[in-house]
Chains A and B, each alone.
Chain A
Amino acid sequence: MSATISVSPPRGRADIRPSMGRLTLVELRKAADTRAGFWLILTIAVLTLAVVGAQLAFGDADTRTLGSLIGNAQLPVSVLLPVLGLLSVTSEWSQRTALSTFSLVPARSRVVAAKVVAAGLLAVGATAAGLAAGIVGFASGGALDRTIGGWEWDAPGIVIAQLCLVNWVTMMCGTAFGLLLLNSAPAIATYYALPLAWTMAGRLLPGLDPVSEWLDIGRARAPLVDPGVTGQEWARFLTSCLLWVALPAALGMLRIHRTEIS
């Protein structure tokens, strides 16, 4: 400890609240500055490379095309990345950092908004990284004579936009479960198990099938990997998003707004 105490004299100062940009940067930093966050991001990166590599090495001929490589390179991102968004919310409670977070920013909705924007940026960034992994994989596979077909790809713009949208929605879904449950382990378990249970229920109970088409997010997002999504498919996707993203997010926001932070 230094002997001299350098706390400046109290004085009046402008009470300017931190901008949304600043809060978002802080949330992005918080996503990666812990061991858990760092390893999760690293795992996703390694798995993405592994998926591309394994597909080139062992995949059937029809999977060694550019479109297939790019599509499958998104798998680790779409499965694991939502946990990062989920943890960015729940770790505030499990690690009890909510005390200092909300002492510094009393407007709780601004913190939540910054987390949602940060999660969205991570999803877009991860989609781009997955895309790059697929393209690099196709190029190096081509050099080794392992690829099928050329660089031509059906409607790449729209498919990339759709991949990006699906990853973003999945990330929002994970974040929404974090907001709703505010506890890491139950939130992760529910995030993975509940949609799956719903899918199984839809298969086992034939009467549920027409409902399941509209409310099963796994099924509703499936058409988005290809171009030419119909109006009805978009409507189903949107409906399932309302159930699995908007509803838990809204309930979670309400809970965070009213809850006691301790």
Chain B
Amino acid sequence: MIEVNHLSKRYGGQVAVDTVSFRCEPGTITGFLGPNGAGKSTTLRMICGLTPPTSGEALVCGVPYRSMGNPGRQVGVLLDASAQHTGRTGREVLALSAQVLGIGAARVEELLDLVGLAGPAARKRVRGYSLGMRQRLGIAHALLGEPEVLLLDEPANGLDPEGIRWMRRLLREHAARGGTVLLSSHLLSEVERTADRLVVIARGRVVGQGGRDELVAAGDDLEEEFLRLTGQRYTLEEVDQ
């Protein structure tokens, strides 16, 4: 479970995130949706204790993230697939984190296999990985500690259509077992097909949230509603980029 209460972040005079509140319940997938620069990543970093909030608080599994002793066993985090040492092999990246988490090497092999990076790809350095491969490695990294909560920032970036479908199924199964999933995206079409609930953010503020079906007024199309909420009805290309 994730609880975000009146979270705000100001940089000088600029408000990046403005009193954002939402909850992610066990057994659900929440899509965190908004155009680029809306404050999604800043919010996710505040939830993980990497960015100190100006005000408000975020609780994961009932406690602030930074008060957890071994958070990787409860929360799987993927904030940026490109944020890995390019000189390490994919296997080494996972093995290092497995050592921190106190889990065995067998789990690393299991995950390499799960995300399709077993064999030669595991021995390759991350420098030689495509964005799609980095994304798969990042997902494997998030799953290492068998966490209850998954927190993923733009996980579909760089994945091919087959990879997107695979990830969608993985997240659905995780939620079906009672896990909590929060994933951000600027792509409505992606979130629409994966998430049960949506939190729409624009210019740092939550402009709409609820069940996927509730959000859409009778007869309206979700895309229209998203563009209306984010005030981007006329800049469709920007949202789709």
Whether the pair A97, B85 counts as a contact (CB closer than 8 A) is yes
Whether the pair A23, B100 counts as a contact (CB closer than 8 A) is yes
- Measured CB to CB, the nearest residue on chain A to B170 is A5
Of the candidate stretches A7-15, A121-129, A139-147, the one touching chain B is A7-15
- With beta carbons under 8 angstroms apart, the residue of B69, B92, B101, B173 that contacts A33 is B92
Q: Which of B137-181 contact A (CB under 8 A)?
A: 141, 143, 146-148, 166, 169-170, 173-174, 177-179
Any chain A CB within 8 A of the CB of B96?
A: yes
Any chain A CB within 8 A of the CB of B80?
A: yes
Any chain B CB within 8 A of the CB of A102?
A: yes
Residues of B close to A229: CB separation below 8 A: none
Whether the pair A104, B100 counts as a contact (CB closer than 8 A) is yes
A-B contact count (CB 8 A): 126
CA of A99 to CA of B80 in the docked complex: distance in angstroms?
Answer: 8
CA of A261 to CA of B71 in the docked complex: distance in angstroms?
Answer: 17
Whether the pair B177, A6 counts as a contact (CB closer than 8 A) is no
Minimum CB–CB distance from B222 to chain A (whole Å) comes to: 28
Of the candidate stretches A24-32, A65-73, A163-171, the one touching chain B is A24-32
Q: Which of B175-194 contact A (CB under 8 A)?
A: 177-179
Residues of A close to B128: CB separation below 8 A: none
Any chain B CB within 8 A of the CB of A155?
A: no
Any chain A CB within 8 A of the CB of B77?
A: yes
Any chain A CB within 8 A of the CB of B236?
A: no
Whether the pair B114, A5 counts as a contact (CB closer than 8 A) is yes
- Measured CB to CB, the nearest residue on chain B to A257 is B52
The 5 closest A-B pairs by CB, nearest first: A17-B69, A10-B148, A96-B83, A34-B87, A1-B116
A-B contact pairs, 7 of them (CB 8 A): A2-B113, A7-B143, A15-B68, A18-B100, A96-B83, A104-B97, A261-B51
